[in-house]
């Protein structure tokens, strides 16, 4: 499972970090980024998929998007 967090959409509700603290980190104003080492280009570790999916479904801003399999590798 690959996910993308669109930080231009994130409104800082913080639900993601509550559900999946190993996937999302918050700044002191409550805005999220993916934890260091995680990217939208790589599959999440399997044990993080379920909490990440819960975060995706519960994000009030719909800022978390599941990515389809890449058709071609990045440059």
Q: 47 or 73, CB closer to other proteins?
A: 73
- Which of 29, 47 has the CB closer to other proteins? 29
The nearer residue to other proteins, 36 or 46, going by C-beta atoms, is 36
Core vs surface per residue 66-75: b (16+ CB within 10 A) or e: eeeeeeeeee
Considering only residues 29 to 68 of the shown chain, the ones binding other proteins according to CB under 8 A are 29-31, 33, 36, 40-41, 67
How many residues bind other proteins (CB under 8 A)? The answer is 21
CB 28 within 8 A of CB 75: no
């Amino acid at each position: 499972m690959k996910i993308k967090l669109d930080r231009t959409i994130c409104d800082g509700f913080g639900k993601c970090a509550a559900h999946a603290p190993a996937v999302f980190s918050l700044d002191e104003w409550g805005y999220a980024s993916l934890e260091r080492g995680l990217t939208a280009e790589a599959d999440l570790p399997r044990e993080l998929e379920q909490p990440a999916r819960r975060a995706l479904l519960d994000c009030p801003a719909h800022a978390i998007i599941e990515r389809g399999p890449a058709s071609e590798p990045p440059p």
